């Protein structure tokens, strides 16, 4: 590691300052932390993910799950975090699929420039039906519990909701990372994801719909907007997509028969 790289890894920036009415005031809210985590699978580098540096094992497991390399935690023999939590090493069990070294990598539109190996969706069958008002209430819950955003700003929040409400909640600097994190945390906690809803604070882009489809999520809702390609893929995957979810309104881009619309 060069001296410059060491400084970049260890140095903390000075607190930001607020400029208002010609005056500068120092703030105590620091920017959110970020690390580049390298994922090594069976001795070979698979990907490097720019992410928030917490529970990186769950993030790595979720990435492998949504890329259809593993299906359960039993597909992993060994997990190890090394080099000051900048490297995750995983050894796969014989039950896991072969790592797709020969498949084309697609750079996604996610924050931190995500990567996926395919934009093929998996059709989602069954699952719960919810009222739009329920999604509005869940979005309020999501925003209220976003502790990382309250502390730093600049982070995305996503959560898995079932018929009885909130089941899992995660935060990361990358909105695409939050779906991987939900997939990984669900594996670790043995929480089913099929037929449930994911709500996110960030834009729903194509790779996020793909990730949702691969873990069987039937409803994706955002505080902001989906992309055009995301809606097209949601139609193909039979996933309901809602955007601009607020306290008293939302926009339905595709209901897929999963929304109890009057």
Tens digit of pLDDT at every position of the chain (262 positions): 444 444 344 456 667 666 677 776 887 777 678 788 899 999 998 888 878 889 999 999 999 999 889 999 999 999 999 877 789 999 999 989 877 666 555 445 455 455 565 668 999 999 999 999 999 999 999 999 998 888 777 889 999 999 999 999 999 988 889 999 999 999 999 999 999 999 999 999 888 999 999 999 999 999 999 988 899 899 999 999 999 999 989 999 999 999 998 7
What is the pLDDT at residue 7?
Answer: 39
CA distance 72 to 184: 9
pTM for the whole structure: 0.83
Residue range(s) in the chain whose domain bears CATH number 3.10.20.10: 35-116
Within 10 A of 197 (CB to CB), how many other CB atoms are there? 27
Residues β-bridged to residue 166: 161
CA distance 133 to 50: 35
Residue range(s) in the chain whose domain bears CATH number 3.40.140.10: 132-254
Within 10 A of 235 (CB to CB), how many other CB atoms are there? 15
What is the pLDDT at residue 3?
Answer: 44
What is the pLDDT at residue 242?
Answer: 93
What is the pLDDT at residue 33?
Answer: 83
Class of domain 35-116: alpha beta
What is the DSSP pairing of strand 35-41 with strand 87-92? parallel
CA distance 243 to 246: 9
CA distance 127 to 197: 9
Q: Provide the b/e sequence for 148-172 (b: ≥16 CB within 10 Å).
A: bbeebeebbbbbbbbeeeebbbbbb
What is the pLDDT at residue 207?
Answer: 87
CA distance 223 to 243: 6
Strands (E) in the chain, as ranges, are: 17-20, 23-26, 35-41, 44-51, 76-82, 87-92, 106-107, 115-116, 156-162, 165-172, 197-200, 219-222, 240-243, 251-254
CA distance 217 to 130: 13
The angle that helices 56-66 and 175-189 make with each other, rounded to 10 degrees, is 100
Question: Which two three-digit tokens encode residue 234?
Answer: 């949601």
Q: Could you confirm whether domain 132-254 is CATH 3.40.50.150?
A: no
Question: Which two three-digit tokens encode residue 239?
Answer: 């996933």
Task: Please report, for the chain, how many H helices and E strands are present, in that order.
Answer: 7, 14
């Amino acid at each position: 590691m060069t001296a410059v790289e060491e400084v970049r890894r260890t140095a903390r920036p000075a607190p930001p300052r607020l400029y208002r009415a010609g005056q500068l005031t120092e703030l105590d809210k620091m920017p959110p932390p970020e690390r580049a985590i390298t994922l090594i699978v069976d001795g070979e580098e698979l990907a490097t993910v720019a992410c928030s540096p917490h529970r990186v094992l769950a993030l790595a497991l979720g990435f492998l799950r949504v890329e259809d390399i593993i299906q359960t935690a039993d597909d992993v023999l060994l997990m190890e975090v090394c080099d000051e939590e900048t490297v995750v090493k995983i050894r796969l069990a014989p039950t896991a699929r072969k790592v797709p070294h020969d498949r084309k990598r697609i750079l996604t539109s996610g924050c931190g420039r995500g990567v996926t190996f395919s934009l093929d969706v998996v059709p989602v069958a069954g699952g719960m039906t919810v009222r739009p008002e329920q999604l509005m209430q869940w979005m309020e819950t999501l925003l209220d519990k976003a502790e990382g955003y309250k502390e730093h700003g600049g982070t995305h929040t996503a959560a898995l909701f079932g018929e009885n409400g909130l089941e899992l909640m995660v935060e990361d600097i990358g909105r695409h990372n939050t779906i991987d994190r939900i997939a990984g945390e669900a594996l670790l906690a043995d929480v089913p994801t099929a037929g449930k809803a994911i709500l996110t604070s960030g834009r729903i882009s194509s790779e996020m719909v793909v990730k949702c489809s691969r873990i069987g999520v039937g409803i994706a809702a955002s505080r902001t907007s989906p992309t055009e390609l995301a809606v097209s893929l949601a139609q193909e995957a039979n996933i309901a997509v809602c955007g601009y979810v607020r306290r008293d309104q939302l926009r339905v881009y595709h209901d897929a028969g999963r929304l109890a619309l009057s």
